[in-house]
Structure 1
Amino acid sequence: MTVLRSIALFVLAACAEIGGAWLVWQGVREHRGLVWVGAGVVALGLYGFVATLQPDAHFGRILAAYGGVFVAGSLAWGMVADGFRPDRWDVIGALVCLVGVAVIMYAPRG
C-alpha cells in the first residue's frame, strides 16, 4: 500500500507542478492574463506541499525520483493539453526515466 500511495502522490505532484507551469505559460506566452498566472503560482505552491507527503523521509531521493515522473508527465500533459505528439525517442526517454524512478524509490534497501 505504501508504494501505491507514493505513486499516487507522484501523480498528484506532477499535476500540480506541470499544470501550474502550464497555467503560467498560458498566462504569459498566450496572453491569457494574470488570473491564469496566479492560478499557476498557486498550483506550483501546492506541488511543494504534496512532495512532503511522500512516505520516504529523504528530500534528495524524493526530488530525484520526481524528476523522472516530471519528464514522463510533461510529455503526457503536452499530448493532452497541446496536441503534442512525442516521437519514439521521447517515449523511450520517458520510460528510462520511469525505470529510474522505480530504482530510486522502490529498490529494496537493507
Structure 2
Amino acid sequence: MDVLKSLSIFLLAGICEIGGGYLVWLWLKEDKPYWYGIAGALILAFYGVVATWQSANFGRVYATYGGIFIVLSLVWAWKVDGFKPDRYDVIGALVALIGVCIIFYAPRSIQQ
C-alpha cells in the first residue's frame, strides 16, 4: 500500500509540473491568454507542495521523481501534444524508470 500511495503522489506531482509548465509554454510560445500563465504558475507552485507529501528525504524523492518525470513527459507529449515517441525514447524512459524504482523502493536495513 505504501508503494501505491507514493506512486500516486509521484503521478499527481508529475501532472502538476507538466500541466503547469505546459500552460506557461502555451501562454509564452503559442500566444494564449495571460491567464494560462497564471494558472500554470499556480499549478507549478502546488507541485512543490505535492512533492513534500512523500515520506522519504528530499534527495531520494527528487531523484526518483526525475525518472518518473521522464516517462510522464513522453506520455503527455504523445497524448496531448501529438509527439510520437520512438523506440529509443521508450527504452530510455524504461531504463530511467527501473533506476529510480531501485533508488526509491529497494529494501534498506535502516530507514534513510
1:51 corresponds to which residue? Answer: 51
Paired amino acid for 2:50: V
Q: Distance in 1 between matches of 2:42 and 2:51?
A: 15
After the TM superposition, which parts of structure 1 deviate over 6 Å for at least 4 consecutive aligned residues? none
Paired amino acid for 1:83: G
Tell me whether 1:69 sits opposite 2:63 in the alignment: no
Give the Å deviation of 1:33: 1.9
Paired amino acid for 1:95: L
Q: Is the contact between residue 2 and residue 55 of structure 1 (CA under 8 Å) also seen in structure 2?
A: no
Aligned length: 109
Normalising by structure 2, we get a TM-score of: 0.95
Q: Distance in 2 between matches of 1:91 and 1:70?
A: 13
Tell me whether 1:84 sits opposite 2:79 in the alignment: no
Paired amino acid for 2:46: L
Paired amino acid for 1:36: Y
CA displacement, residues 62-100 of structure 1 (integer Å, 9 cap, x when unaligned):
000000011110000001111110000000010011101
Question: SS of 1:82's equivalent?
Answer: coil
5+ residue gaps in structure 2?
Answer: none
Normalising by structure 1, we get a TM-score of: 0.97
5+ residue gaps in structure 1?
Answer: none
Paired amino acid for 1:65: T
1:14 corresponds to which residue? Answer: 14
CA-based RMSD of the aligned residues comes to 0.6
Percent identical pairs in the alignment equals 51
Give the Å deviation of 1:49: 0.4
